Chains A and B, each alone.
Chain A
Amino acid sequence: MIIKQLSVFVENKPGRLAEITALLAEAKVDIRALSVADTNDFGILRLIVNNPDKAEETLKSHGYTVALTKVITIGIHDQPGGLAGPMKILYENGISVEYMYAFISKTVNTAYVILRVEDNEKAIEVLQKNGVTLVSEEEVYSM
């Protein structure tokens, strides 16, 4: 249920994203989803890829600071209110979301949301109890 997200430290300098994505392309790493958090001086690139260990190794060997962060992925109905339900469940159970980002899939009517929370186990437990679909590691990497 827990997915490995690649988190990369990126300085706000021209060409950084071009270099990182080129390195991943060369290593034949396929990107499933991504988001960038940015500040004045730096950004954090977060990636879901088909082969996180290989991606980590590739970027590390080129001197990047990289971490594998544990996140969870939920599947929701691609319709109004689809995300509101799971968010309400998390809120009512006192689980705060550090950040999240979504992507839609090839499967009709389904969207996926990557969630970064403090306590993954607890989040999984309450979401499952309330009938929210959690996506397995294999499913996400092979999408």
Chain B
Amino acid sequence: MGNYFNEKMETMSRDEMLALQSERLVDTVRRVYDHVAPYRAKMDAIGIKPEDIRSVEDLSKLPFTTKQDLRDNYPYGLFALPPADVAEIHASSGTTGKQTVVGYSKADLDVWGEIAARAIVAAGGGKDDYLHVSYGYGLFTGGLGLHYGGQKMGATVIPVSAGNTKRQIQIMQDFGSTILACTPSYALYLGETVCDMGVQDKIHLKAGIFGAEPWTEEMRREIEQRLNIKAHDIYGLSEIMGPGVSFECAEQTGMHVNEDHFIVEIIDPDTGEVLPDGSEGELVFTCITKEALPLIRYRTRDISMLSRKPCSCGRTLVKMAKPRGRSDDMLIIRGVNVFPSQVEAALLQVGGKGTAPYYQLIVDRVNNLDTLEVQVEMDSSFFSDTVRGIEEQEKKIAKQLDFILGLSAKVTLVEPKSLARSEGKAVRVIDKRKLHD
């Protein structure tokens, strides 16, 4: 079976895949129209009937779904199944407003396990592996998603969940963890702690599967070096399924979308127009096998692009680029779009030894003008015994930020480990402007 979990689906020809997607789409649209009142109302409003959707080519006739639709129909309004058939509930960690609730049938959970299993196998996982899951377990989809994937492909799952870093490292040593699954910022923190404790030789990880937040190539290299592993990206969002919507193979040049379960599109975020492969735009997914919550053309707010260039791994599934950041994370400062990942890239370019210092963006509004301060933890590569030396470092960082962001920022070096570390998702931004509104 090589390094595929489901060779048939992962290497299917384009024509066969389109036929399969069309068949599944037609069925999904019919189910949604019949069982989800808000969808029926949306389709009726623009005069679209289920019979107008005959193939994937008709997809663009359908209206979009947004996070607002989920909020408006909180908690179960968009479910296509009665409660008796819903097996599990999860909720997104929504940073703004009400959280969004998602549901799964027994069959949905099986599909979820399947797509996460494909990701683990693509990262080099096999039945003999010990899968160390440090994503949080609970309503967040990270923990259980990888857990179901590990069970499906036959690895031994260690459900450690998030937190207690020293204990995590002890478990890695004692239980012989070989594959780590967690957020990239936590992987970095684990790596840092492993190095501080001097136990690199006692850890036997070979690969990592990291997702749920944006990360940079520089971060990948650093995680790989600190933990001596190959780091793979995994993408997902709870509204669509959870981790495993797309995943990285050994080539590490983008994530293969599980197209037999999800149709992916790239649209212009302003006009909603579908863009051709290779264009940058907003990712939109349509669930075509989901029973409990089959979302149609769900707008992710993630900025990415698609590529159908043949992949050396043999998979024919389309690849999406690592999202530049969720637009939830995107800040608009003085009219300029800023992603925290860009700040990270700037810092790595300045830091001589290739390690990523911790940082935090503090955005405020003073006299109607947005201000950006970037606090960066002092690192031995930035330190000098003279004030001038340290101020020069701050200027160097500010100059690089200006170059990358097109925005001037105040840079402040702070003491190591003084910025808040989260054991789950990294808190990269403090936007004080929201507090004043």
Contact = CB atoms under 8 A, between A and B. Distances in A.
Which of B380, B415, B418: most chain A Cβ within 10 A?
B415
B390 A44 contact: yes
Contacts of A116: 385-386
B374 to A, nearest CB: 13
B412 A41 contact: yes
Interface in A53-76: 63-65, 67, 69
Contacts of A10: 415
A46 B385 contact: yes
B391 interface: yes
B387 A9 contact: no
Q: Please classify the interface of chain A as helix (H, G, I), strand (E, B), loop, or mixed, using the class held by over half of its residues.
A: strand
A74 B384 CA distance: 23
Given A9-B378, A39-B391, A44-B390, A64 B415 contact: yes
Contacts of B383: 7, 9, 65, 67
A62 B112 CA distance: 44
Contacts of A67: 380, 383-385
B243 to A, nearest CB: 33
Interface residues of A, number: 19
Contacts of B412: 41
A11 B414 CA distance: 6
Interface in B380-437: 380, 383-388, 390-391, 412-418
A84 interface: no
Contact of B385 (A5, A11, A63, A64): A5
Contacts, number: 48
Nearest to B415: A11
Interface in A27-51: 37, 39, 41-42, 44, 46
Contact of B386 (A11, A37, A42, A65): A37
B386 A99 contact: yes
A65 B387 contact: no
A9 B415 contact: yes
Contacts of B418: 11
Contacts of A46: 385
Contacts of B385: 5, 7, 44, 46, 67, 69, 116
Interface string A1-41: 00001010111000000000000000000000000010101
Contact of B387 (A37, A63, A69): A37
A58 to B, nearest CB: 15
Contacts of B391: 39
B393 to A, nearest CB: 11
A98 interface: yes
Contacts of A7: 383-385
A9 B357 CA distance: 15
Contacts of A39: 387, 391
B395 to A, nearest CB: 13
Interface in A69-112: 69, 98-99
A64 B383 CA distance: 11
Contacts of B415: 9-11, 63-65
A108 B292 CA distance: 89
A98 B389 CA distance: 11
Nearest to B416: A63
Contact of A42 (B379, B388, B390, B417): B390
Contacts of A63: 415-417
A120 B384 CA distance: 17
Nearest to B386: A98
B390 A65 contact: no
A69 B416 CA distance: 20
A42 B416 CA distance: 13
A41 B387 CA distance: 11
Contacts of A9: 378, 383, 390, 413, 415
Which of B385, B415, B417: most chain A Cβ within 10 A?
B385
A42 B380 contact: no
A37 B384 CA distance: 12
Contacts of B413: 9, 41-42
A49 B155 CA distance: 55
Contacts of A99: 386
B376 to A, nearest CB: 12
Contacts of A69: 385
A44 B416 contact: no
Interface of B: 378-380, 383-388, 390-391, 412-418
Given A11-B418, A41-B412, 18 more contacts: A5-B385, A7-B385, A9-B413, A10-B415, A41-B413, A42-B390, A42-B413, A42-B414, A44-B387, A44-B390, A63-B417, A65-B378, A65-B379, A65-B380, A67-B380, A67-B384, A116-B385, A116-B386
10 contacts: A7-B384, A9-B390, A11-B415, A41-B412, A42-B390, A44-B385, A63-B417, A65-B378, A98-B386, A116-B386
Top 5 A-B pairs ranked by shortest CB distance? A7-B385, A69-B385, A65-B378, A11-B415, A9-B378
